[in-house]
Structure formats: structure tokens, C-alpha cells
Amino acid sequence: MSLSDDSRYLKGGPVAQRIIAAVREDAAIAKAEGFPPKLISITVGDTDAVDVYVRNQRAKAQLAGIDFEERRFPATITAGELEAAIHGLNADPRVTGIIIQRPVPAHIPIKTLQAAVHPLKDVEGMHPASIGNIVYNQLDLAPCTAAASVELLKETGLDLKGLEVVIVGHSEIVGKPIAFLLMSEGATVTVCHHMTRSVAAHARRADALFVAVGKPRLIKADMVKPGAAVIDIGINSEVGPDGMSRIVGDVDTESVREVASWITPVPGGVGPITVAILLRNTMVALSRQRARYEATYGTADRLAAE
Ligand SMILES: NC(=O)C1=CN([C@@H]2O[C@H](COP(=O)(O)OP(=O)(O)OC[C@H]3O[C@@H](n4cnc5c(N)ncnc54)[C@H](OP(=O)(O)O)[C@@H]3O)[C@@H](O)[C@H]2O)C=CC1
Ligand SMILES: Nc1nc(=O)c2c([nH]1)NC[C@@H]1CN(c3ccc(C(=O)N[C@@H](CCC(=O)O)C(=O)O)cc3)C=[N+]21
């Protein structure tokens, strides 16, 4: 049996395809009704991981019928100039959603940029108001990677109520929102980070282990409970023995697959679902904007109102 046929591999492709097919239907209807969805990606400077992500965003947006436009800014741009560009996009009625690719150069405060995106156009769910909604169990517009990771865990069929979950990594964009999403599903959640005394001791207790650190092969077989589900969120670029650059996760997949009952491959796991959820969030944003528009103008037909 080839590795790709192994039922232990929790593959993201089929889940992503399902989500994109639904988005495609919604997008076609919205377009016919005079509200074509449009997603704008903002990139500042150059990063490998961002290039992969943006490339896939463009390809999948095209597949789903969502207009996609990349705005690239040089690493030398000031925070004020970027904020002005974001305010311009907020005011543009043709723009449905804005995503700011991370990381941005050190002189740019990322939090200020995320807060500058209008909450109705915040397709990444990273505005403080959006993040706050997650704490209140309002989950329909969650940060894409966190939502994607939870979606993959659900593919196992495990009952999330009372499940012992350990998350390694507590960034605002991945680890923390995963913790909130899973708490709202009834899981018992432990979050580890670089000050945790023994990541291994916590990880070994987990029925489901989420890893989002950015260190290849951080998680080895002896850190995983037999029968656990392991969700590998890491996307690391590495030069392989053949001298070619390749993408690997944070989990030592070869050894961990002997112990775990489920494991997500990298590539082909969480990544494709992240892109699909970004597109789904764009449609959620569009429907919120339309609801606001109707509340203001009393009609859903923008063209008729103009
Ligand atoms: N698949 C996808 O769709 C996505 C994948 N990614 C990938 O996920 C990974 C993490 O991304 P992101 O969350 O943005 O990264 P950050 O660098 O923002 O966060 C990394 C986290 O890991 C923690 N950490 C660092 N070293 C250790 C350690 N030895 N043991 C335990 N915890 C540690 C850090 O803790 P502390 O803050 O305390 O130092 C921090 O909370 C990266 O590989 C990234 O490329 C990211 C986004 C989307
Ligand atoms: N604001 C922001 N949000 C992010 O979520 C974010 C970000 N910035 N910066 C970069 C990282 C990285 N990231 C990826 C998402 C999907 C794939 C992806 O689609 N990967 C596929 C394809 C890999 C390939 O084509 O080689 C896979 O894993 O199978 C990759 C990388 C999101 N990130």
C-alpha cells in the first residue's frame, strides 16, 4: 500500500474541494445578483511561505469564481502608507475582503494593520472585534488556519466533547484561536509554548495534538500517545537530500505515523483547507455587507439604488 492510500493520513484535499464547491455556488449567485465577491491580498516584502499561500489563493479563488488581486508593497514602506492603502480598500465598495499576509517587516506593527481593516472586510478574522467574537462562541468567521485545523480533526469522527487536546504554539493567528474554537466544542484544552516545562509530557496525554511552531520534526514518536490524532500545521521550507527545496511540517511524520491513528500530511493537509476557508470567509463577509446594505438602503439591489 502506498503512503498516500494509508487511512491514517487525514488529507485536506477532499475537505477543501467540498468547501470550494459550496463557495463557487454562492459566488455565482452573488455575482448574478450584482454583488461579485473580490478578495485583495496585501504582501509586504518577500517570504517563501507567503508566496506559496498567495499562489494557492489566486488559483483557488479563480476556481471558485472570486476575483483576486494581489497588492505587493516594498519592505521599505511605512506603516502610515500601508494604513492609508487599507483605508482606501475599506472605502471601495467593489472590495469584499482584505487579507494581510504575515509576516510583515519588523518596523510595521502588524496589530495596527489588522485593526485598520474594516471588521466587515476582515476575511482572516484577525481584527480585535473578530477575535473577540470567537471568545463569545460566535464562530462563523474564524482565523482560516485555526478553522481549517479543527475541520480536519472533525474528519476523524472523534467526539470533541471532553476530548483531551494539546496545542503546541500559541500565536494569535493559529494556536490561540484553535484553543477557543475547541473550547467552544467542549474539548479540554492545554496550550504549550516555549516556556512550557515539558512539551513532551503534555503532548503524550493528548487524544488530539495540534502543532503550530515552525520547527521541522519538533514532534517525535515518543511525544505522541498511541492512537492519537496529530494535526501538523507547520509549513517549513527545507532543502532535501536531493538539493531541492520542499515543504515539511513540524511533525516527524515517518516515525509518528507508526504511533498515531491519524496524522495530517504536509503538504496536502491543513494548507489546502486554509485557502478554502479564506474563500468561504470572503462569502461570509459579503453576506454581512449585503445585510448591512439592505438595513441602510432597504434594498438588496445595489445597482438599482445607485
Ligand atoms: N498550514 C497553514 O495554513 C499555516 C501554517 N502556518 C505555519 O505554522 C507554523 C507556526 O506559525 P505561527 O503560529 O504563525 O508562528 P509564530 O512564530 O507566530 O508562533 C510560533 C509559536 O510556537 C511557540 N514555540 C516556539 N518554539 C517552541 C518550542 N520549542 N516548543 C513549544 N512551542 C514553541 C512560540 O511560543 P512563544 O511565543 O512563547 O515563543 C509561538 O507561540 C509555521 O510553520 C507557519 O508557517 C502558519 C499559518 C498558516
Ligand atoms: N495572514 C496570514 N495568514 C496565513 O494563514 C498565513 C500567512 N499570513 N502567511 C504565510 C502562512 C503560510 N500559510 C499557508 C497556507 C496554505 C498553504 C498551502 O496551500 N499549502 C499547500 C500547498 C503546498 C504547495 O503548493 O507546495 C499544502 O500544504 O498542501 C501554504 C502556506 C498561510 N499563512
Shared domain check, 260 and 177: yes
Domain that holds residue 257: 144-271
User: How many domains does the chain contain in total?
Assistant: 2
Per-residue confidence (pLDDT) for residue 2, from 0 to 100: 54
Instruction: Please check the confidence at residue 288 and state whether its pLDDT lies above 70.
Output: yes
Q: Whose CA is nearest to atom 42 of ligand 1?
A: 214
Same domain, 160 and 240: yes
Atom index in ligand 1 nearest the CA of residue 250 equals 43
Instruction: Clarify whether residues 154 and 255 are in a common domain.
Output: yes
Claim to verify: residue 259 and residue 155 sit in the same structural domain: yes
| Ramachandran area for residue 268 (φ above 0: left; ψ -120 to 50: alpha; else beta) | left
Residue nearest to ligand 1 atom 2, measured at CA: 271
What is the pLDDT confidence band of residue 302, given thresholds at 50, 70 and 90?
Answer: low
Lowest mean pLDDT among 44-53, 79-88, 110-119, 154-163: 44-53
| Mean pLDDT over the full length of the chain | 94
Q: Tell me what percent of the residues of the chain surpass a pLDDT of 70.
A: 96
What is the value of pTM for the model shown?
A: 0.96
Residues 125-146 pLDDT 10s: 999 999 999 999 999 899 999 9
CA 251 / ligand 2 centre spacing (Å) = 16
Residues 93 and 155 grouped into a single domain: no
Q: What pLDDT does residue 47 have?
A: 80
Residue 146, ligand 1, Cβ within 6 A: no
Mean pLDDT of 85-98: 98
pLDDT band at 306 (very low <50, low <70, confident <90, very high): very low
Residue 2, in any domain of the structure: no
CATH code of the domain covering residue 181: 3.40.50.720
Is 22 a member of any domain? no
pLDDT for res 121? 98
In this structure, are 48 and 167 located in the same domain?
no
ipTM score assigned to the predicted complex: 0.98
pLDDT digits over 148-196, tens only?
999 999 999 999 999 999 999 999 999 999 999 999 999 999 999 999 9
Q: 213 lies in a domain?
A: yes
What are the tens digits of pLDDT across the range 205-258?
999 999 999 999 999 999 999 999 999 999 999 998 999 999 999 999 999 999
- Are residues 103 and 65 part of one domain? yes
300: pLDDT strictly greater than 60: no
Mutate to test the pocket of ligand 2, among 43, 176, 235, 237 (most ligand atoms within 8 A of CB): 235
> HEC states along the chain?
CCHHHCCCECCCHHHHHHHHHHHHHHHHHHHHCCCCCEEEEEEECCCHHHHHHHHHHHHHHHHHCCEEEEEEECCCCCHHHHHHHHHHHHHCCCCCEEEECCCCCCCCCHHHHHHHCCHHHCCCCCCHHHHHHHHCCCCCCCCHHHHHHHHHHHCCCCCCCCCEEEEECCCCCCHHHHHHHHHHCCCEEEEECCCCCCHHHHHCCCCEEEECCCCCCCECHHHCCCCCEEEECCCEEEECCCCCEEEECCECHHHHCCCCCEECCCCCCHHHHHHHHHHHHHHHHHHHHHHHHHHHHCCCCHHHHC
170 is in an annotated binding site: yes
Residue type, 63: L
Q: Assess whether 54 and 100 both reside in one domain.
A: yes
Q: Is 235 in the pocket of ligand 2 (CB under 6 A)?
A: yes
Q: What is the pLDDT of residue 171?
A: 97
Distance from the alpha carbon of residue 293 to the mean position of ligand 2, in angstroms:
33
CB of 114 shorter than 6 A to ligand 1? no
Looking up residue 40, the CATH number of its domain turns out to be 3.40.50.10860
Residue at 72 is within a domain = yes
Choice from 104, 167, 174 to test ligand 1 binding pocket (greatest atom count within 8 A of CB): 174
Q: Which atom of ligand 2 is nearest to the CA of 50?
A: 10
Ligand nearest to the CA of 124: 2
pLDDT band at 49 (very low <50, low <70, confident <90, very high): confident
| 162 CA distance to ligand 1 middle (Å) | 25
Question: Are 162 and 99 in a shared domain?
Answer: no
Please state the atom number of ligand 1 nearest to the C-alpha of residue 144.
3
Q: Is the CB of 110 under 6 A from ligand 2?
A: no
Say whether pLDDT at 101 is over 70: yes
Residue 238 shares a structural domain with residue 159: yes
pLDDT band at 1; cut points 50, 70, 90? very low
Helical axes 175-184 vs 128-135, angle rounded to 10°: 30
Q: Do 66 and 161 belong together in one domain?
A: no
